[in-house]
A = this chain, B = another copy of it.
Amino acid sequence: MTEKQERILTVALELFAQQGYAATATSRIAREAGVSEGLIFRHFESKEGLLKAILEYGNKEVNTFNSRLSTYTDPRARLRAILEAPFYFEPQQYHFWRLIYSLKWQMETYDNSMSTTIKEALLEIFEQLAYPDPNAEAELLVAIIDGTMMAMLLRQPENARDMLAVLVQKYGV
């Protein structure tokens, strides 16, 4: 991956995340990345190819997180780690997550696997913890995580720590 390729990816991620995929012109990406318009297509074939490259690139980080999760054997610890995730994601991942969530609202969903993965992990946890309705609990917690992600990405509340504290306490972990 050359330096220009990387610059294209970075700038495209930022713009896609801020203005949306459809509303971002490739010409603008080229200009802000300081490369020619043609180069984007030489490297990524099409605008959609560029998007896919971004998503693959970002997915690695997600997988890293997922595998880190499985180091916790204690279900309480795993639950806590999951609860904390939205509150501590790396700032450099900010644009990536904005993009992911913004894409969720477009018809042709790009990959819903993330939610499914986490849902299954949660299901296992709640079963281990012998919650009465582990399925509903898991589904609800996926929703809560999406909601806190939204808060962190869109509103960036000052009292994020306190929110986490309340959440942690509710789940007793």
A: residues with CB less than 8 A from B are 18-20, 22-23, 98, 101-102, 104-107, 115, 133, 135-137, 139-140, 142-148, 150-151, 154-155, 157, 159, 162-163, 165-167, 170
Given A143-B144, A147-B144, A151-B142: A133 and B166 within 8 A (CB)?
yes
Report the minimal beta-carbon distance from A123 to chain B, rounded to whole angstroms.
Answer: 12
Q: Kindly list chain B residues whose C-beta atoms are within 8 Å of the C-beta of A105.
A: 20, 98, 101-102, 105, 154
Are B147 and A148 in touch, CB under 8 angstroms?
A: yes
* Number of copies of this chain that the complex holds: 4
Looking at A98, A145, A159, the one whose CB has the most chain B CB atoms below 10 A away is A159
Are B157 and A150 in touch, CB under 8 angstroms?
A: no
Bound together, the chains give a CA A166 to CA B142 distance in angstroms of 13
Given A107-B19, A140-B167: A133 and B162 within 8 A (CB)?
yes
What residue in chain B is nearest A105 (Cβ atoms)? B102
What residue in chain B is nearest A15 (Cβ atoms)? B107
Q: Pick the contact of A143 from B22, B136, B147 — CB < 8 Å?
A: B147
Q: Kindly list chain B residues whose C-beta atoms are within 8 Å of the C-beta of A19.
A: 106-107
